[in-house]
Amino acid sequence: MKLCTEILICFLFILTPAVSKEVAGVMLDEKIIIENNNLTLNGAGIRSKFVFDIYVGALYLLKTTNSTDAVLQSSGPKRVHMVFLYDEVGKDKLTSGWSDGFENNLTDAELSELKNKISAFNQLFETAQKGDIIDLDYIPGKGTHVYYNSKLRGVVKGEAFNRALLKIWLGEEPADESLKAGMLGRD
Protein backbone atom coordinates (compact mmCIF):
# COMPACT_ATOMS: atom_id res chain seq x y z
CA MET A 1 0.00 0.00 0.00
CA LYS A 2 2.86 2.37 0.81
CA LEU A 3 4.34 1.90 -2.68
CA CYS A 4 0.98 2.75 -4.30
CA THR A 5 0.74 5.92 -2.23
CA GLU A 6 4.29 6.96 -3.18
CA ILE A 7 3.60 6.32 -6.86
CA LEU A 8 0.37 8.34 -6.67
CA ILE A 9 2.20 11.24 -4.99
CA CYS A 10 4.91 11.16 -7.69
CA PHE A 11 2.30 11.27 -10.47
CA LEU A 12 0.46 14.14 -8.79
CA PHE A 13 3.73 16.04 -8.41
CA ILE A 14 4.65 15.50 -12.07
CA LEU A 15 1.17 16.39 -13.36
CA THR A 16 0.68 19.47 -11.19
CA PRO A 17 1.57 22.59 -13.20
CA ALA A 18 4.06 25.03 -11.75
CA VAL A 19 2.27 28.03 -10.26
CA SER A 20 5.33 30.09 -9.55
CA LYS A 21 9.01 30.50 -10.29
CA GLU A 22 11.67 31.56 -7.78
CA VAL A 23 14.35 34.10 -8.66
CA ALA A 24 16.70 35.31 -5.90
CA GLY A 25 14.18 34.34 -3.25
CA VAL A 26 11.31 36.15 -5.01
CA MET A 27 8.36 34.00 -6.03
CA LEU A 28 6.91 35.00 -9.41
CA ASP A 29 3.50 33.87 -10.62
CA GLU A 30 3.61 31.86 -13.84
CA LYS A 31 0.26 33.37 -14.89
CA ILE A 32 -1.36 36.73 -14.17
CA ILE A 33 -4.49 38.50 -15.37
CA ILE A 34 -4.55 42.09 -16.63
CA GLU A 35 -7.95 43.46 -17.68
CA ASN A 36 -9.34 39.98 -18.46
CA ASN A 37 -6.20 38.97 -20.38
CA ASN A 38 -4.21 35.94 -19.26
CA LEU A 39 -0.50 36.71 -19.39
CA THR A 40 2.28 34.18 -18.94
CA LEU A 41 5.67 34.69 -17.37
CA ASN A 42 7.99 35.00 -20.35
CA GLY A 43 11.12 35.11 -18.22
CA ALA A 44 12.87 36.78 -15.33
CA GLY A 45 16.28 37.70 -14.03
CA ILE A 46 18.21 39.96 -11.70
CA ARG A 47 19.23 43.55 -12.42
CA SER A 48 22.71 43.88 -11.00
CA LYS A 49 24.98 46.89 -10.89
CA PHE A 50 28.59 46.36 -9.98
CA VAL A 51 28.36 43.57 -7.39
CA PHE A 52 24.93 44.53 -6.04
CA ASP A 53 21.59 42.89 -6.88
CA ILE A 54 19.15 45.75 -7.40
CA TYR A 55 15.85 44.07 -8.35
CA VAL A 56 14.26 40.99 -9.85
CA GLY A 57 12.71 41.87 -13.20
CA ALA A 58 10.07 39.76 -14.93
CA LEU A 59 8.28 40.07 -18.25
CA TYR A 60 4.71 38.84 -18.78
CA LEU A 61 3.18 38.45 -22.24
CA LEU A 62 0.10 36.97 -23.93
CA LYS A 63 2.33 34.56 -25.82
CA THR A 64 5.87 33.68 -24.73
CA THR A 65 8.79 34.37 -27.04
CA ASN A 66 12.57 34.67 -26.85
CA SER A 67 12.64 37.33 -29.58
CA THR A 68 13.10 40.99 -28.76
CA ASP A 69 11.47 41.95 -32.06
CA ALA A 70 8.40 39.82 -31.30
CA VAL A 71 7.99 41.49 -27.90
CA LEU A 72 8.41 45.00 -29.30
CA GLN A 73 6.03 44.36 -32.22
CA SER A 74 3.35 42.76 -30.07
CA SER A 75 0.46 45.16 -29.57
CA GLY A 76 -1.11 43.10 -26.77
CA PRO A 77 -0.98 43.71 -23.02
CA LYS A 78 2.34 43.27 -21.22
CA ARG A 79 3.77 43.64 -17.74
CA VAL A 80 7.25 44.41 -16.50
CA HIS A 81 7.30 43.38 -12.84
CA MET A 82 10.11 44.51 -10.52
CA VAL A 83 10.73 43.45 -6.94
CA PHE A 84 13.50 45.41 -5.25
CA LEU A 85 16.29 43.49 -3.52
CA TYR A 86 18.59 46.38 -2.62
CA ASP A 87 18.00 48.23 0.66
CA GLU A 88 17.17 51.56 -0.99
CA VAL A 89 17.24 52.98 -4.51
CA GLY A 90 16.68 56.73 -4.48
CA LYS A 91 14.20 58.42 -6.78
CA ASP A 92 17.07 60.20 -8.54
CA LYS A 93 18.84 56.86 -9.19
CA LEU A 94 15.64 55.32 -10.55
CA THR A 95 14.81 58.20 -12.86
CA SER A 96 18.39 58.61 -14.09
CA GLY A 97 18.40 54.88 -14.81
CA TRP A 98 15.21 55.15 -16.84
CA SER A 99 16.57 58.20 -18.67
CA ASP A 100 19.86 56.46 -19.46
CA GLY A 101 17.93 53.46 -20.76
CA PHE A 102 15.86 55.63 -23.08
CA GLU A 103 18.92 57.56 -24.30
CA ASN A 104 20.91 54.37 -24.92
CA ASN A 105 18.20 52.70 -26.98
CA LEU A 106 16.35 55.44 -28.85
CA THR A 107 17.30 57.69 -31.71
CA ASP A 108 17.46 61.44 -31.19
CA ALA A 109 14.20 61.78 -33.11
CA GLU A 110 12.46 59.19 -30.89
CA LEU A 111 13.78 60.90 -27.74
CA SER A 112 12.54 64.26 -28.97
CA GLU A 113 9.10 62.83 -29.83
CA LEU A 114 8.76 61.10 -26.42
CA LYS A 115 10.42 63.81 -24.29
CA ASN A 116 7.23 64.90 -22.51
CA LYS A 117 6.07 61.32 -21.91
CA ILE A 118 9.46 60.32 -20.50
CA SER A 119 9.35 63.32 -18.18
CA ALA A 120 5.80 62.44 -17.06
CA PHE A 121 6.90 58.82 -16.50
CA ASN A 122 9.85 59.87 -14.36
CA GLN A 123 7.56 61.99 -12.16
CA LEU A 124 5.66 58.86 -11.10
CA PHE A 125 8.48 57.40 -9.01
CA GLU A 126 9.74 57.73 -5.47
CA THR A 127 12.56 56.07 -3.56
CA ALA A 128 12.27 52.27 -3.68
CA GLN A 129 12.93 50.21 -0.57
CA LYS A 130 13.83 46.52 -0.33
CA GLY A 131 10.66 44.52 -1.03
CA ASP A 132 8.91 47.29 -2.97
CA ILE A 133 7.16 46.24 -6.16
CA ILE A 134 6.80 48.27 -9.34
CA ASP A 135 4.53 47.00 -12.10
CA LEU A 136 4.49 48.60 -15.53
CA ASP A 137 1.35 47.33 -17.26
CA TYR A 138 0.73 48.13 -20.89
CA ILE A 139 -2.96 48.02 -21.81
CA PRO A 140 -3.68 48.59 -25.51
CA GLY A 141 -5.61 51.77 -26.17
CA LYS A 142 -5.03 52.99 -22.60
CA GLY A 143 -1.27 53.18 -22.13
CA THR A 144 1.36 52.15 -19.61
CA HIS A 145 -0.02 52.00 -16.08
CA VAL A 146 2.60 52.52 -13.38
CA TYR A 147 1.84 50.72 -10.11
CA TYR A 148 3.97 51.18 -7.02
CA ASN A 149 3.20 48.57 -4.35
CA SER A 150 -0.17 47.91 -6.07
CA LYS A 151 -1.16 51.60 -6.06
CA LEU A 152 -1.70 53.25 -9.43
CA ARG A 153 0.68 56.20 -9.71
CA GLY A 154 -0.31 57.26 -13.21
CA VAL A 155 -0.68 56.34 -16.87
CA VAL A 156 1.52 57.27 -19.81
CA LYS A 157 -0.42 56.95 -23.05
CA GLY A 158 0.81 55.52 -26.30
CA GLU A 159 2.08 52.27 -27.72
CA ALA A 160 5.26 54.01 -28.94
CA PHE A 161 6.09 54.99 -25.37
CA ASN A 162 5.65 51.42 -24.13
CA ARG A 163 7.84 50.07 -26.93
CA ALA A 164 10.52 52.61 -25.98
CA LEU A 165 10.17 51.65 -22.32
CA LEU A 166 10.65 47.95 -23.08
CA LYS A 167 13.89 48.79 -24.87
CA ILE A 168 15.37 49.77 -21.50
CA TRP A 169 15.50 46.03 -20.75
CA LEU A 170 15.35 44.48 -24.23
CA GLY A 171 17.03 47.00 -26.54
CA GLU A 172 20.43 46.95 -28.22
CA GLU A 173 22.00 48.47 -25.09
CA PRO A 174 19.93 47.03 -22.25
CA ALA A 175 20.38 48.03 -18.63
CA ASP A 176 21.69 44.51 -17.93
CA GLU A 177 22.50 41.82 -20.56
CA SER A 178 21.85 38.99 -18.09
CA LEU A 179 18.47 40.45 -17.15
CA LYS A 180 17.60 40.81 -20.85
CA ALA A 181 18.40 37.14 -21.41
CA GLY A 182 16.33 36.18 -18.38
CA MET A 183 13.32 38.27 -19.37
CA LEU A 184 13.44 36.73 -22.85
CA GLY A 185 13.56 33.25 -21.34
CA ARG A 186 17.04 32.59 -22.73
CA ASP A 187 18.75 31.82 -19.44
Indicate which CATH number applies to the domain containing 157.
3.50.70.10
The residue range of the domain holding 95 is 18-183
| Domain assignment of residue 124, yes or no | yes
| Domain assignment of residue 11, yes or no | no
pLDDT digits (tens, 9 = 90+) for 29-73: 999 999 999 999 999 999 999 889 999 999 999 999 999 999 999
| Domain assignment of residue 2, yes or no | no
- Considering its fold, how many domains does the chain have in total? 1
| Domain assignment of residue 146, yes or no | yes
pTM of the predicted structure, to 2 decimals: 0.88
Residue 1: predicted pLDDT: 55
SS3 for the chain, per residue?
Answer: CHHHHHHHHHHHHHHCCCCEEEECCEEEECEEEECCEEEEEEEEEEEEECCEEEEEEEEEECCCCCCHHHHHHCCCCEEEEEEECCCEECHHHHHHHHHHHHHHHCCHHHHHHHHHHHHHHHCCCCCEECCCEEEEEEECCCEEEEEECCEEEEEECCHHHHHHHHHHHHCCCCCCHHHHHHHCCCC
